[in-house]
């Protein structure tokens, strides 16, 4: 078993882990309550707790109901069946430090299209009304909080007793292992990849499904959909569509190739993504804003441009790696650094680092359009309340931390070649600033 290493100091690691384990679950409920029952107003929620204290929080925490469990169960089963049964091309993931190479089936796009068509079809033909999901949203989030926690305990036990590959290890601390995870590539059987399911097919798919849910709820309540909601939904769906179009590239990212399957990734994708990532749309349900055609169009186009640039950054690097640097980047031969590194088994390998195109602007430039896209799909909420912008702020903090972790990992892996790379591309995220 490989020894699990943490990037931050032990004190920072313990503090952040304990904080996130204890604060994230109640925050999800507070976010839902404030958006749905307190007019999106933090001060209104604050006044409620001033009056009712801890008992008030216990009172507003929804109890998981049979309806909530049925909705989650049907959705999860449907996505699992699509993951297993839909055809898709064979895609090899990156070779891990222990020499293991995961193999995936790329069927994200048909699963995504089939999910949305099925969901809209059930509504259109009167089989199932999505407003039931909205009306039971608190119970669903509550059930996900507890159910996903139990699922993470299963992952911890599985990592100890029955790891799927050699990419499994322990830090020696039960809390750290539970939070960061034991296994890099856990599977049930040969075909059911747990991280693909939790991250992509449950988490990211739920973002699209809930975006449509909020739209339909506003339509059924008001008889129309405000242009603010249309812009928000269109941009979030464009972003999720981009994700599934590029899903085989996602399998090379930190989430899949470096972060293990524990509370951080799996609970985050099963609970945090459906609740926090969709929260601007959740707010707009009860706060329809009339932007006007011109402003709505400007915001929509700005958001689409950011999503396209984010996609093009990833496409550029993927094409560069796939052709071993024998491609054009912005019409020219790419600038690159040939780096060598040593695997944990002592084997020497070579790789290439792209230093031109988007990747010549900064080492993680793709985070800039991603944060801006989130801002533009939240902008239709305007500025009456702060809470809709929580996701934008959270995303910026998450990506700054991820950039640091990725830089630290690359510095450890590539040594002098990474120092050379940082000399050629000195900025971490924002060119000329940071």
pLDDT digits (tens, 9 = 90+) for 311-332: 999 999 989 988 999 999 999 9
Question: Phi first, then psi: what are they for 357, rounded to 5°?
Answer: 70, -145
User: Which structure tokens are listed for 217?
Assistant: 């709820």
pLDDT of residue 188: 95
Inter-residue contact 49 to 60 (CB < 8 Å): no
Pairing between β-strand 103-106 and β-strand 89-92 as defined by DSSP bridges = antiparallel
Q: How confident is the model at residue 341 (pLDDT cuts 50, 70, 90)?
A: confident
The CA R_g of the chain, rounded to the nearest whole Å, is 22
Distance, in Å, from the CA atom of 271 to the CA atom of 64, rounded to the nearest integer, reads 14
pLDDT at 169 over 60: yes
**Verdict on whether the full-model pTM lies above 0.75:** yes
* Dist CA 163 CA 400 (whole Å): 31
| Alpha-carbon distances of 26 from 8, 62, 207, rounded to whole Å | 25, 11, 20
The yes-or-no verdict on residue 1 having pLDDT over 50 is no
> In angstroms, rounded to a whole number, what is the distance separating the alpha carbons of residues 194 and 324?
30
- Is the per-residue pLDDT at 333 higher than 70? yes
Q: For 146-155, 271-280, 399-408, which range has the lowest pLDDT when averaged over its residues?
A: 399-408
**pLDDT of res. 3:** 47
Q: How far is CA 56 from CA 22, 141, 143, in A?
A: 18, 18, 20
Which long-range contacts link 214-222 to residues 24+ away (Cβ below 8 Å)? 214/134, 214/278, 214/281, 214/282, 214/284, 214/285, 215/281, 216/123, 216/129, 216/130, 216/131, 217/130, 217/131, 217/134, 217/285, 218/284, 218/285, 218/288, 220/129, 220/131, 221/285, 222/288
Q: What is the pLDDT of residue 208?
A: 98
Please compute, for residue 24, the number of CA atoms within 13 A of its CA located in the half-sphere on the CB side: 25
Q: What percent of the chain has pLDDT over 70?
A: 98
In the chain, the percentage of residues whose pLDDT exceeds 90 is: 84
Tell me how far apart the alpha carbons of residues 404 and 428 are, in angstroms, rounded to a whole number. 8
What is the structure's pLDDT at 398? 93
**More confident of the two residues 344 and 302:** 302
Do the Cβ atoms of 239 and 373 come closer than 8 Å? yes
Q: Is the dihedral of CA 41, 43, 46, 48 positive or negative?
A: negative
Mean pLDDT of the chain: 93
pLDDT at 8: 54
216-223: average pLDDT: 96
Locate all alpha helices (DSSP H) within 201-292, ordered by sequence: 205-222, 227-245, 247-250, 254-257, 279-285
Does residue 6 have a pLDDT over 70? Answer: no
In 10 A of CB 100, how many CB atoms? 16
């Amino acid at each position: 078993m490989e020894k699990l290493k943490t990037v931050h100091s032990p004190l920072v690691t313990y503090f952040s882990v304990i904080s996130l384990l204890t604060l994230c679950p109640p925050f999800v409920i507070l976010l839902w309550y404030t958006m749905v029952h307190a007019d999106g107003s933090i001060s209104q929620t604050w006044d409620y707790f001033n009056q009712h204290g801890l008992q008030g929080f216990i009172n507003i925490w929804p109890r998981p109901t049979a309806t909530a469990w049925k909705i989650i169960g049907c959705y999860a089963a449907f996505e699992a069946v699509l993951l297993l049964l839909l055809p898709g091309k064979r895609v090899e993931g990156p070779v891990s430090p222990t020499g293991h190479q995961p193999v995936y089936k790329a069927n994200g796009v048909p699963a995504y299209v089939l999910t949305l068509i099925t969901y809209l079809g059930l509504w259109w033909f009167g089989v199932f009304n999505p407003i039931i999901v909205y009306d039971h949203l608190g119970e669903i989030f509550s059930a996900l909080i507890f159910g996903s926690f139990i699922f993470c305990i299963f992952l911890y036990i599985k990592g100890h007793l029955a790891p799927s590959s050699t990419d499994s290890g322990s830090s020696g601390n039960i809390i750290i292992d539970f939070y960061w995870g034991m296994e890099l590539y856990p599977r049930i059987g040969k075909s059911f990849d747990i991280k693909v399911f939790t991250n992509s097919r449950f988490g990211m798919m739920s973002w699209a499904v809930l975006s449509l849910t909020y739209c339909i709820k506003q339509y059924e309540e008001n008889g129309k959909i405000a242009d603010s909601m249309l812009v928000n939904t269109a941009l979030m769906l464009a972003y999720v569509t981009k994700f599934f179009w590029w899903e085989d590239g996602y399998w090379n990212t930190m989430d899949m190739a470096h972060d293990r399957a524990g509370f951080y990734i799996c609970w985050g994708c099963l609970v945090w993504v459906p609740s926090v990532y969709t929260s601007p749309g959740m707010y707009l349900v009860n706060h329809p804003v009339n932007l006007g055609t011109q402003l709505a169009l400007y915001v929509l186009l700005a958001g689409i441009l950011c999503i396209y640039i984010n996609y093009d950054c990833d496409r550029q690097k993927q094409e560069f790696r796939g052709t071993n640097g024998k491609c054009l980047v912005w019409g020219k031969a790419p600038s690159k650094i040939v780096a060598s590194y040593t695997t944990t088994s002592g084997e020497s390998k070579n790789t290439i680092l792209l230093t031109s195109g988007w990747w010549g602007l900064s080492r993680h430039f793709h985070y800039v359009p991603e944060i801006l896209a989130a801002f533009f799909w939240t902008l239709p909420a305007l500025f009456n309340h702060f809470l809709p912008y929580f996701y934008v702020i959270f995303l910026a903090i998450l990506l700054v931390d991820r950039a640091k972790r990725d830089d630290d990992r690359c510095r450890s892996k590539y040594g002098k070649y990474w120092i050379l790379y940082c000399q050629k591309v000195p900025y971490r995220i924002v060119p000329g600033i940071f």
